[in-house]
Amino acid sequence: MILIVGATGVIGGATVRELAREGAKARALTRDPDRWEPLPGVEVVAGDLDRPETLPPVLDGVESVFIATSGHLKAAQDARLVAAAQRAGVRRLVTVSSLAVDENPDGLLGGWHAEGERVAVESGIPTTVLRPNGFYSNTFAWAPAIATGELALALPDLPAAHLDPRDIGRAAAAVLRPGYPGEPVVRLSGPRALTPREQVAILAAELDLPLTVREISIEDERERLARRVPDHVATAVTAARAAAGPVRATVFGDIEKLTGTAPISFEEFAHTHRATFLPS
């Protein structure tokens, strides 16, 4: 049995859907099972990482735990989960981290994930760490601006090899299969590095719309992001971008190695989600 922690999030959701497609025996953890959309073969259970007393029943019969938590509470939440997993006799952990650990481990974002990695690795339970780059799906936030024809973006010429969350789910499912013999740290990227300006050009071609880019400051972007996510998250994400180095533009071959197929291109992502980007 595989327990998916963070099953209603972007990465946990992609992973549990892939496991369901493969017919794996999986259990999805959520605070609110009533909001769960059923998937074939996936059991849904109620639990809360901030309430450790809810975790022992969730871990009954579980051999592997997939951890997709995030934010400044990640290490504390993961520590409660890992302690419960140790007591339950869990044999394997797969934890989702971030490429920010390679790029800037002393920054907020890199630090949160590095501490989460440490909690899992030092548990004594065999652990695989996934470090993905940023997600294509973050561009969904551009949809309202696409309707105006102008996107205000900070650092529009900063290249990054972002990727489709579906590829993270496929890679995670491969790592979770019995007998996975691979590396303890897996770095995940898209097929090539693109700048936000190049992504906008791809969207313009897909949508057949004239789109322009106006550069704004990183502080302006932080303020805009803070309207959609908690302030500490906005600060961490924009600080990571401001401190960006060559790591985020590096293309890693782990997805193809794990799944046998190349990662999804941004062009394919834009085509798949065309309706999401189109002005209403």
| pLDDT tens string 95-142 | 999 999 998 888 888 888 899 999 999 999 999 999 999 999 999 999
Residue 39 tokens, joined: 């998937």
Q: Does residue 198 lie within any of the structural domains?
A: no
Task: Give the three-state DSSP class for 86.
Answer: helix
Question: Among 48-52, 242-246, 267-271, which range has the highest average pLDDT?
Answer: 267-271
- Residues recorded for the chain: 280
What is the mean pLDDT of the segment spanning 184-190? 95
Give dist(CA 27, CA 45) in Å, integer.
Answer: 7
Tell me, what's the pLDDT at 193? 97
Based on the number of CB atoms within 10 Å of its own CB, is 60 exposed (0-12), middle (13-18) or buried (19 or more)? exposed
CB atoms within 10 A of CB 270: 20
Residue 227 tokens, joined: 């309207």
Q: Does residue 63 lie within any of the structural domains?
A: yes
Q: Does residue 105 lie within any of the structural domains?
A: yes
Query: Residue 163: is its pLDDT beyond 80?
Result: yes
The domain spanning residue 119 has which CATH number? 3.40.50.720
Q: Does residue 100 lie within any of the structural domains?
A: yes
Q: Which of 16-20, 177-181, 232-236 has the lowest mean pLDDT?
A: 177-181
Q: Does residue 181 lie within any of the structural domains?
A: yes
When pLDDT is cut at 50, 70 and 90, the band that residue 272 belongs to is very high
Do 190 and 162 touch, CB atoms closer than 8 A? yes
Q: Does residue 271 lie within any of the structural domains?
A: no
| pLDDT tens string 55-80 | 999 999 999 999 998 888 888 999 99
Phi, psi of 242 (to 5 degrees): -65, -30
Q: Does residue 127 lie within any of the structural domains?
A: yes
Residues of the domain holding 51: 2-133+164-189+253-259
User: What DSSP designation does 251 have?
Assistant: P
The predicted model scores a pTM of 0.91
Instruction: Of 30, 182, 40, 185, give the one whose Cα is nearest residue 99.
Output: 185
Q: Does residue 267 lie within any of the structural domains?
A: no
What is the mean pLDDT of the segment spanning 37-64? 90
- Number of structural domains (the chain) is 1
